[in-house]
Amino acid sequence: MITQHRPKISIITSTYNCKQSLTKTANSIREQSYTNIEWIIVDGASEDGTVDIIRENVDITAYWISERDNGIYDAWNKACKYITGDWVIFMGAGDCFCHAHSLEEMSSKLSDMTESIGIVYGNVYQKNKKNIIQFSYKNVDLNTLAMGRPTLPCHQGVFQRSSFFKSTNPFDSSYRIAADSKFLLQSLKQTNIHYIDLDICDMEMGGIGASAKSILKLMNELNKLGHENLYSLPIQNKIKFTLTCYAKYLLYSVAGEQFVEWIARIKRRIN
């Protein structure tokens, strides 16, 4: 039973030609035991029936729009204007909550957060098409480095106070892949972050960065974050990061998503 003090949670999803994936996300939201939520969808003028799926789920949708946009972060900026919740989470089409009580469990934790904590995150699992966990993302050490920047939690498991999204266009849409990293890094300069060991999201393999071309674009964008003084890397780390990106680019060019499967198998054997 939901008590009055429980926070309202805003879920934001951007979509483009992802009919089947959006159906999975909609079913996941529909089955949540926690109902003090709003789902905001911004679609980029899909032509594959995605809009039909949105219309079929209008009863669980607070606001939706379908029009051409300039990518995922432009869509997120549009969605932020309609946030009325206390906390916000961004989920992609195809991402699902781990179980029916994910938001119920997290909401009770969010209601206990002091004002000094503006970011709360839980566990995220990346699964392949056979529903097998490839990677697990849990508590992170913000003082370590990953992919040429400080280690950050996956946005599918991150809840941020809605006050962070009051500005016009909170996400820098000049980035195509790393604007969420930029936003989180900027937010961490203003607030504290807290990890809670709860299973929040199962995310699909793939996504905006899942191609050989995207690996190099991500490298350039993360370097750009460094140039904007959001963090600094020792020279040895810069060299290692650059070489790693080019190695991944070559392997991804040859093996595609199979490369990700190989990496996952190696990590499972090591662990």
pLDDT tens-digit readout, 161-184: 999 999 889 999 999 999 999 999
Spell out the alpha helix ranges (H) of the chain: 19-30, 50-56, 72-80, 102-110, 179-188, 212-227, 235-255, 257-270
Q: Between 252 and 143, whose confidence is greater?
A: 143
What is the reported pLDDT for 207? 57
Q: Round to whole Å and give the CA distance between 157 and 167.
A: 22
56 and 187 inside one domain: yes
Residue 152 belongs to domain spanning: 9-204
What is the reported pLDDT for 1? 41
What are the tokens at 197? Answer: 């060991």
35 and 60 inside one domain: yes
Q: Are 7 and 85 in contact (CB under 8 A)?
A: yes
What is the reported pLDDT for 2? 44
170 and 193 inside one domain: yes
Burial 3-37 (b: 16+ CB within 10 A, else e): eeebbebbbbbbbbebbebbbbbbebbeebebebb
Mean pLDDT (whole number) for 195-223: 83
Q: Per residue in 86-127, pLDDT tens? A: 999 999 999 999 999 999 999 999 999 999 999 999 999 998
92 and 136 inside one domain: yes
Q: Which of 173, 204, 235 is the last residue of a domain?
A: 204
199 and 219 inside one domain: no
> CATH no. for residue 47?
3.90.550.10
Residue 240 lies in a domain: yes
User: What Rg do the C-alpha atoms of the chain give, in angstroms?
Assistant: 18
Q: Which of 166, 187, 204 is the last residue of a domain?
A: 204
Residue 71 lies in a domain: yes
The residue type found at 169 is N
Look up the pTM and report it: 0.88
108 and 238 inside one domain: no
The residue among 123, 233, 228 whose CA lies nearest residue 175 is 228
48 and 101 inside one domain: yes
What is the reported pLDDT for 89? 98
What is the reported pLDDT for 237? 85
Residue 1 lies in a domain: no
Q: Which of 204, 226, 251 is the last residue of a domain?
A: 204
DSSP letter at 53 equals: H
Residue 22 lies in a domain: yes
115 and 199 inside one domain: yes
Residue 4 lies in a domain: no
User: What's the domain count of the chain?
Assistant: 2
Residue 3 lies in a domain: no
